[in-house]
Structure formats: structure tokens, C-alpha cells
Amino acid sequence: MAFSIRLTDEERALAESYASVHSISLAEAFKRALFEKIEEDYDVIVAEEAYETYKKSGKQSRPVEELFKELDL
């Protein structure tokens, strides 16, 4: 699949500079950036769901110092 995007001259220069520094094509730079953003957003959603599950479980966290004392660390 191919697509095109409109960039200002400044945006294009920045993107080309980034691609050049990383020795990748401009297309590869955009592809990596897109999938990195998708992965980050996915991780946030998974973390939020896990936190909600934790809160609903009624479990309580405790200071890590207590664990260290239990383990004689």
C-alpha cells in the first residue's frame, strides 16, 4: 500500500534529516514512526486496563521497603 502526505518545507527537511542520521529512507522513517506510535498507544491502553483490573480486585499495594524487610534485603 502506498500513500502520500503533505509536509511543509521545514517538516520535510526535519524528516529527511532524521532519516539521513539513521541511514534509512524517508519512507522507512515514517513507517517506523507510525508503528512506534501505534505500539506506544497500545501499551498505554493495556496498562490502563491492567490498572483498572487491579483496582477492582481490591488488592492493596504496599511500600517496597516492607518487601525488602521480609526478604532481609
Domain ranges of the chain: 9-70
Contacts of 25 (CB under 8 A, 6+ apart): 19
Q: In this predicted model, what pLDDT tens digit does every residue of 9-54 receive, in sequence order?
A: 999 999 999 999 999 999 999 999 999 999 999 999 999 999 999 9
For residue 25, what pLDDT is reported? 97
Cα 72 to chain centroid distance, Å, stands at 36
Three cell numbers at 16? 529527511
| The model's pTM | 0.70
